[in-house]
Amino acid sequence: MLIDVFTLFPEHFEWFGGQRHVRNAAEGGHELRCIDYRDTTPLKGGRVDDTPYGGGAGMVMRVDVVDAALRGAYGDDGSGVRKIALTPGGRMFDEGLAAELVGEQHLALLCGRYEGFDERVIERLADDAVSIGPYVLSGGELAAMVVADAVIRKLPGALGDEHSAVEESFSEALGGDPEYPHYTRPPEYRGWGVPEILLSGDHAGIREWRLQRSRERGGGA
């Protein structure tokens, strides 16, 4: 899988690219690239934004700037690339969308800054508009990292232990519920114990207890 992040701040992704699971994915042949809108902007002085028509505060990312960056990367035909604009008004990102996106060969994550994108970016250039939650961030970069992280960790071999992504929060194995609670040594700390069943060696009982806790956390029975 190739993930291209279009951004004004490629340096923000240096830390992200150094994460263990991202490096594991890279060793497995996957790639995370950053593309700077300023490298292809048709505007003078590296400009990428403009004031909103109709007035109001803030600056808007221009559609011609985003189009130039996409054309610079993909030429006239970007049809093989799933292009996602990160914007607070988009569809809410969740585990189901992460699972869908990991099936793509090539993803483009478009970060906006300032007040966001000219709406034509969302209408004409992107395939989807995605938000990571009901709050406003200063730009799409953190959201792109969240989306990339949730997708990359699903790639085979990205996590050290092949099984660790199977039975975790919101997975199919848990019926879409959050994960059950975990405990480790010591068995008692400051008088705080661990559920007896987990120390019992009763594997069927442990399995039942975990599914029950998972269901409770999901708001079910």
**CB of residue 104 to ligand 6GU, shortest distance in Å:** 18
Which of the residues 16 through 35 are near ligand 6GU (CB under 6 A)? none
150 touches ligand 6GU by CB under 6 A: no
Q: Which residues contact 53 (CB under 8 A, 6 or more apart)?
A: none
Our CB check for ligand 6GU shows the closer of 114 and 209 to be 114
Q: What totals of helices (H) and strands (E) does the chain contain, helices first?
A: 7, 7
143 touches ligand 6GU by CB under 6 A: yes
131 touches ligand 6GU by CB under 6 A: yes
139 touches ligand 6GU by CB under 6 A: yes
Q: Which of 44, 45, 53, 135 binds ligand 6GU (CB under 6 A)?
A: 135
Q: Using CA atoms, how far apart are residues 210 and 167, in angstroms rounded to an integer?
A: 11
122 touches ligand 6GU by CB under 6 A: no
Q: Which of 132, 151, 155, 174 binds ligand 6GU (CB under 6 A)?
A: 132
198 touches ligand 6GU by CB under 6 A: no
Build a one-symbol-per-residue string for 83-102: x at contacts with ligand 6GU by CB under 6 A, - elsewhere.
---xxx--------------
Q: With contact defined as beta carbons under 8 Å apart, do 13 and 36 qualify?
A: no
136 touches ligand 6GU by CB under 6 A: yes
CA distances from 183 to 16, 164, 168, 216 (A): 29, 16, 15, 17
Q: With contact defined as beta carbons under 8 Å apart, do 153 and 21 qualify?
A: yes
**CB of residue 66 to ligand 6GU, shortest distance in Å:** 15
Q: Which residues contact 216 (CB under 8 A, 6 or more apart)?
A: none
Rg over CA atoms, the chain = 21
Burial of 38 (0-12, 13-18, 19+ CB in 10 A): middle
109 touches ligand 6GU by CB under 6 A: no
Q: Residue 191, Cβ neighbours under 10 Å: how many?
A: 5
Of 46, 45, 22, nearest to 32 by C-alpha is 22
Task: Point out which span in 139-147, 150-158, 168-176, 213-221 binds ligand 6GU (CB under 6 A).
Answer: 139-147
Task: Point out which span in 14-22, 81-89, 161-169, 212-220 binds ligand 6GU (CB under 6 A).
Answer: 81-89
List of residues contacting ligand 6GU (CB under 6 A):
86-88, 131-133, 135-137, 139-140, 143
